[in-house]
Amino acid sequence: MIAAAPGASIPVGRRVRVQVPATSANLGPGFDTLGLALNVHDELEVEATAGTAVRVEVEGVGADEVPTDETNLVARSLLHVLEAVGVEAPGLVLRARNSIPHGRGMGSSGAAIVSGVLAAQGLLEGLVELADADVLRLATELEGHPDNVAPAIFGGLTIAWVDETGPRHKQLAVHRGVSLLVAVPEATMSTKLARSLQPEAVPHADAVFNLSRSALLVAALTQSPELLLDATEDRLHQTYRASAMPETSALVGALRAAGHAAVVSGAGPSVLVLAGDPAARLEAAAIVESRDEPWRALLLAVDIRGGTVEPIPPQAAA
């Protein structure tokens, strides 16, 4: 990443539009490594204005809950990028239309971070060139790990890891036979709480178990959907977190007992089903809807585009 030339500034009136998908991380055995982009999106428009004030307008999910100033996560992420490249922040107006549920294990915080980073990338056009690797690194700095931000940026199925150069990723195409279902409860779950339930060490046999299932899951998602049930077995995180979300654990158990590849979506409490065909997905949805607890069954697809940013031409400005 190259820093901006001294004195470089974002032109007042420059506007960009950003769209970022929801994500589901872990996918069972791929803890902190595997992630999948979903076709539910948050949308954002950002305008550079005179002065230094930051104003955030939110429609949809979180409209009555999220901050509307520079402490908003999207705004903080955008400002983080500008500081990193040495460009003074202009005034900013952010208009967000949110559809990704908050606190449900569908990557809402990762999507907010990626939205801010991509908005900064668009505003910096002609001043600083942010490559894909820069976007991933900056988003990971803010999120702490790349498993959610990688699919939000690049789309599809992603494998994310970190080496001495920073976060890296590999994007893969999901087999067209795979159908997705996300069961969303009314309850929320704190990612911080979920992570606190993880032990610092796990048995050697469990580590080997998950290594085999993670490798198998990549094959199942890209080539052999008939292996999805075996490939989504996990011994590293879901059992330890079950006590904090018993309804989620019970639903995962009921779905798997019926032959469906169900896992906790991210940190939960939503449940992701990786169905081998549309008929199996409908069967899973019927099980979700038959539960005593209220769940929303979302029939989704894999988002293959990932996050996008585009300029808004001056003539399109309202």
- Quick count: other Cβ atoms within 10 Å of Cβ 79? 17
Return the residue matching tokens 């590999």: 170
- Indicate the DSSP class of residue 272: E
Is 102 annotated as ligand-binding?
Answer: yes
Q: Which helix (H) or strand (E) holds 122?
A: helix 108-123
Cβ–Cβ under 8 Å, residues 158 and 35:
yes
On whether 14 is known to bind a ligand per the annotation, the reply is no
- CA neighbor of 182 nearest in space, from 27, 19, 20, 34: 27
Helix 246-257 vs helix 278-289: angle between axes, to the nearest 10 degrees?
Answer: 140
Cα dihedral sign, 290-22-102-200: positive
253 is in an annotated binding site: no
Contacts of 211 (CB under 8 A, 6+ apart): none
Compute the radius of gyration of the chain from its Cα atoms: 20
Q: Is 13 annotated as a binding residue?
A: no
103 assigned to a ligand binding site: yes
CA angle centred on 21, ends 317 and 46, rounded to 5°? 25
166 marked as part of a ligand binding site: no
Length of the chain: 318
Please report where in the chains the tokens 């007992």 appear, as a residue: 257
Q: Strands, E, within the chain: which ranges? A: 15-25, 34-49, 54-60, 91-98, 157-163, 166-172, 179-185, 262-264, 271-275, 295-300, 308-311
Residue 144 in tokens: 């702490």
Angle at Cα 182 formed by Cα 176 and Cα 185, nearest 5°? 180
> Is 243 marked as a binding-site residue?
no
**Residues of each annotated binding site:** 101-111
- List, as residue ranges, the binding site for ATP: 101-111
